Amino acid sequence: MDVVFLDESMPGLTGLEVLMKIKALNRNVPVVMITKNE
């Protein structure tokens, strides 16, 4: 993976939970978290 774009609000898991799973697989992958909330 080159980069992951991740929404903070998702059904089932939060963006932070997904981020922890991604980082457990590859700590070096850059992640950009976005949200529609202000």
Report whether 4 contacts 29 (CB < 8 A): yes
Note if the pTM is more than 0.75. no
The tally of domains found in the chain comes to: 1
Which pLDDT does position 3 carry in this prediction?
93
Taking the C-alpha atoms of residue 38 and residue 35, their distance in angstroms, rounded to an integer, is 8
What pLDDT score was predicted for residue 11? 85
- The parent domain of residue 19 ranges over 4-34
Return the H-helix or E-strand segment holding 16: helix 15-25
pLDDT at 38: 64
pLDDT digits (tens, 9 = 90+) for 14-38: 889 999 999 999 999 999 998 876 6
How confident is the model at residue 35, as a pLDDT?
Answer: 85
Query: Cα–Cα distance between 28 and 7 in angstroms, integer?
Result: 19
Taking 80 as the threshold, does the pLDDT of residue 2 lie above it?
yes
